[in-house]
Amino acid sequence: MKRRRLTAITLTLFLLALTACVSQAGPSTASGAQMAVANQRYEAGEFVAAAEGYQALVDAGVRDGQLYYNLGNAYFKSGDLGRAILNYRRAQRLLPRDGDVDANLKLARAQTRDRIETEGEAALVALARRIIHWLTLEEAAAVALGLWIVLCGLVTGALLWRKRRRIGRYGAGAVAGLLLLTLLSIGVRRWDTGREPPAVVVAPEVTVRSGPGEDYLTEFALHAGAEVRLIEQRGDWVRLVLPGGLQGWAPAAAVPEV
């Protein structure tokens, strides 16, 4: 009976892992021909045409870090600083350990017109944030699944082999701790993104008003590349907040979400 239960548990976990792999095995890029044409235009210095080609793939539903990176480069070379930063940020989510993405994002940020003051962040908080974002959400989910499988194996082994029960307990405790931290990091990122999703100003200049409409008073102006967070949306208007806490309303089309 115990062996049957163990077999059933193992089969169930295997199917879960297989399902997770298949769900992520779909096409992450469009056909090589479409990408190749956009790449050729970029290499030829036709940056606007290259951006149009890459953007067409994104609009078709392609979600790929390298594509966002290429699109950011094309926009940057064509002088569209806002959309360059937007796509570098999107690339960074899918390629969190890519040095080229980080370097180009830093270069683009240095050319923005707005110098938004931010409150100093404690070193421990900054380190924790860096660790949390070291993996993509998909990678973190895969790690969590792997840890869950290992944990189930250790618990099952501890129940079946009494002589090694103590080793199984210690191993299960360590794996359970890692699993908890991984799930916590996923939850924190989901909560943070869903609460106030990041956005980037892509219009050359956008007037931020006291309410959702042209009739409201002007509070301040932001320029291409300014990075904000979104609090609320009403129709075609969004309420944004700057790192220092300053808030206002702007047209949604001018401040797309990362």
Contact by Cβ (8 Å): 198, 257: yes
Supply the CATH number for residue 79's domain. Answer: 1.25.40.10
Looking at residue 28, its pLDDT comes to 46
Give the separation between CA 79 and CA 85, rounded to whole angstroms: 11
Q: Do residue 37 and residue 65 come from a single domain?
A: yes
pTM, rounded to two decimals:
0.74
Residue 50 belongs to some domain of the structure? yes
Q: What is the pLDDT of residues 10-39, one digit of tens each?
A: 445 444 444 444 444 444 444 578 889 999
Query: Is residue 101 over pLDDT 60?
Result: yes
Residue 78 belongs to some domain of the structure? yes
User: Of 30-34, 136-140, 219-223, where does the model show the most confidence?
Assistant: 219-223
**Banded model confidence at residue 195, pLDDT cuts 50, 70, 90:** confident
Q: Do residue 153 and residue 220 come from a single domain?
A: no
182 burial (CB, 10 Å; 0-12 / 13-18 / 19+) is: buried
User: Of 34-43, 118-127, 145-154, where does the model show the most confidence?
Assistant: 34-43
Helix (H) or strand (E) holding 206: strand 205-209
Supply the CATH number for residue 227's domain. Answer: 2.30.30.40
Query: Is residue 148 over pLDDT 80?
Result: yes
Looking at residue 128, its pLDDT comes to 61
Domains identified in the chain, total number: 3
CA angle centred on 199, ends 195 and 203, rounded to 5°: 150
Give the separation between CA 160 and CA 146, rounded to whole angstroms: 21
Q: Do residue 103 and residue 128 come from a single domain?
A: no
Given 109, 142, 162, which residue is the final one in a domain? 109
Residue 54 belongs to some domain of the structure? yes
Give the separation between CA 248 and CA 26, rounded to whole angstroms: 40
**Banded model confidence at residue 7, pLDDT cuts 50, 70, 90:** very low
Query: Is residue 122 over pLDDT 90?
Result: no
Give the separation between CA 67 and CA 32, rounded to whole angstroms: 12
Give the separation between CA 51 and CA 56, rounded to whole angstroms: 8
Q: Do residue 169 and residue 203 come from a single domain?
A: no
Query: Is residue 252 over pLDDT 50?
Result: yes
**Banded model confidence at residue 117, pLDDT cuts 50, 70, 90:** low
Q: Which of 22-31, 98-107, 203-212, 225-234 is the least confident region?
A: 22-31
Given 195, 218, 244, which residue is the final one in a domain? 195
Contact by Cβ (8 Å): 257, 230: yes
Task: Find the domain containing 241 and state its range.
Answer: 198-254
Helices (H), the chain: 2-23, 32-43, 47-59, 65-77, 81-94, 99-109, 123-132, 137-160, 165-195
Given 144, 162, 195, which residue is the final one in a domain? 195
Residue 117 belongs to some domain of the structure? no
Average pLDDT of the residues in 214-237: 96
Give the separation between CA 77 and CA 51, rounded to whole angstroms: 9
Residue 14 belongs to some domain of the structure? no
Query: Is residue 68 over pLDDT 60?
Result: yes
Residue 19 belongs to some domain of the structure? no
Give the separation between CA 215 and CA 15, rounded to whole angstroms: 57
